[in-house]
Structure 1
Amino acid sequence: MANVDGQWDCVTKTPMGEQKSVFTVVSNGDSFTGSNAGPMGTLDVIDGKVDGDTLSWKMELKVPMAMVMDATATVDGDTLKGEVKLGAFGVAPMSGTRKA
C-alpha cells in the first residue's frame, strides 16, 4: 500500500480559475479522513476510501453554492494527480505535491 498520508499542496483547475489548497490525508486501513483547506474555507473529507495508491472521497461545498463534489486521486511518491467532479460544471483536474 502506498504512503498516502500527509499534507499536499494542491491546485485544482476550475472554471473559476486555479484554486490552491492544502489537502490533508490521514489513512486508517482502507479509509481516510482529512480536509481540503483553501482561501474560501475548509471542506471536510466525506466517505474517504483508500485502494492501494488511489484515494476517492466526497466534499460538500456550501458557498458560493451548495454542491457535493466527488474526487479521486492517485499518489505516486510525493506527487498526487486526480480530478474533482463539479456537478453541472464538469470535471476539474487536481494536482499536488507532498509538503515536507
Structure 2
Amino acid sequence: MTMGADGNWQLTVHTPKGDMTWHLAIETAGETFTGKMTMTTGSTAIENGTIDGDQLTWESSLVQPASVKVNGEARLSGDRISGEIKMGMYGTRSFSGTRA
C-alpha cells in the first residue's frame, strides 16, 4: 500500500488546447481514497478511489462543459505522479505532476 499518496498534487495535463495545470487533493483511508480534482472548468469529487501498491484509480463526474464520467489512473513514485484521465467524448488526457 502506498503511504505517500495523501496531500495535494499539481498536475500538468496535456490537452488539445495545450498543457493545463490541474490539482488533485487526496486523502487515503487504507486501500481507498477520496478527494477533489480541480480543473480549468471547476472541481469534482473523487469517487471510488482505490490504491494498489503505487497505482491509483478513481472515478469522477463532470457537469461542465457537459455531463461526462471521468476515469483516472495514476502511478506514484515518491513525490511524482503520472497517468491518464479518460474523459468520455473528450478523449484521454495524459498527465504528470509533483506534490504541491
Unmatched runs of 5 consecutive residues or more in structure 1 = none
User: How large is the Cα RMSD of the aligned pairs?
Assistant: 1.3
- Secondary structure, counterpart of 1:88 in structure 2: helix
- Write out per-residue CA displacement over residues 20-72 of structure 1, whole angstroms, 9 at most, x where no aligned residue: 11100111011000001133211110111111111100111101111001110
Residue identity opposite 1:43 in structure 2: T
User: Deviation above 3 Å: which 4+ runs of structure 1?
Assistant: none
Q: CA separation in 2, counterparts of 1:16 and 1:44?
A: 24
The number of equivalent residue pairs is 99
Residue identity opposite 1:14 in structure 2: T
- 1:53 is matched with 54
Q: CA separation in 2, counterparts of 1:43 and 1:95?
A: 19
Aligned residues with identical type, % of pairs: 32
- 1:92 is matched with 93
The TM-score with structure 2 as length reference comes to 0.90
Contact kept, 8 Å, 1:30 with 1:51, in 2: the verdict is yes
Unmatched runs of 5 consecutive residues or more in structure 2 = none
